[in-house]
Chains A and B, each alone.
Chain A
Amino acid sequence: MDFLHISQSFRQTFAVRASEWALSLMLLNWSIVLFASPELFVDRPSYAPLASIMKQETWATICFVAGAGRLIVLLINGSWRRTPHLRASGAFIACFFWFQITLGFAQAETWATGMAIYPVLLALDAYNVIRAITDAAITDNHFKRAVSDGPDNP
């Protein structure tokens, strides 16, 4: 892995993966907010579905790992071999968060503005999963062909 590759890869792929970068950053920001406001799950009923699964601190830690991990995967993309599999996994995990949050907001007596945002984020990350998994299949095909052709005929 070298800085030149990362810089080049970032400039080449950012335009088409802007949504993945944004959603990863949102997940990371989520963990920061959860760490910064420890009583959030207690104060707001919208977070009840999340609270029923895990404690707020656990959610914050998982959000941090998932968000930061996804950002790192996007950053080092292709240093050793193109890895859209990890991009797909990251987006899939993020879908879980968006789905839970959407469920929480949907169950509230009065819908908050979150209902206008989180379902869209869920749909966007679902789209990212499909796109990344398609990339993964194409990459695997190229890799398989390169291996069967040998090093002289890439």
Chain B
Amino acid sequence: MDQITPEFLLTVLTGAIFGLAALGQYFRTKNQPSVQAMEKAGQYHDRLHAEQTLRALERVAVAVEKIAASADTIADRRQSDIQDTLHKIADHMKQS
């Protein structure tokens, strides 16, 4: 090196500041275990979607109730149909 110029000093100063910033980033990341980061992400995700999940569950519950009611109606109808058919057969058998 021929001489220490202001440009060189500026470079060293900028390099030192940037190097410290890079080291800071290194230790910041190192002291933040990935598990903690994942837990935080999970909590955030849960908070974000909790209300939507609750609404979806309510809709599913209502739909299940409707299906159950429909199934009961279908079963009743079939039962009454079978009873009618049995009565008809019984009547037919009596007549014959």
Which residues of chain A have a CB within 8 Å of any CB of chain B? Answer: 49, 52-54, 88, 92, 95-96, 99-100, 103, 107, 126, 129-130, 133-134, 136-138, 140-141
Q: How far is the CB of B13 from chain A (nearest CB, A)?
A: 11
Interface range on chain B (Cβ under 8 Å from partner): 20 to 34
Main secondary structure of the interface of A (DSSP, over half): helix
Chain A positions within 8 Å of B22 at CB level: 88, 92, 129-130, 133
Given that A99-B14, A141-B34 are contacting pairs, would A53 and B8 also be in contact in the complex, using a CB cutoff of 8 Å?
A: yes
Given that A92-B19, A134-B25, A136-B26 are contacting pairs, would A141 and B33 also be in contact in the complex, using a CB cutoff of 8 Å?
A: yes
Query: Are A95 and B15 interface neighbours, CB within 8 A?
Result: yes
Query: Are A49 and B26 interface neighbours, CB within 8 A?
Result: no
CA distance A54 to B1 in the complex (A): 5
Chain B positions within 8 Å of A49 at CB level: 5, 7-8
Chain A positions within 8 Å of B18 at CB level: 92, 95, 126, 129
Interchain pairs with CB closer than 8 A, number: 58
Q: How far is the CB of A137 from chain B (nearest CB, A)?
A: 4
Chain A positions within 8 Å of B3 at CB level: 52
Closest residue of chain B to A140, judged by CB? B30
Query: Are A137 and B10 interface neighbours, CB within 8 A?
Result: no
Q: How far is the CB of A142 from chain B (nearest CB, A)?
A: 8
Contact of B29 among A54, A95, A126, A138 (CB under 8 A): A138
Chain B positions within 8 Å of A52 at CB level: 2-3, 5, 7-8
Query: Are A103 and B34 interface neighbours, CB within 8 A?
Result: no
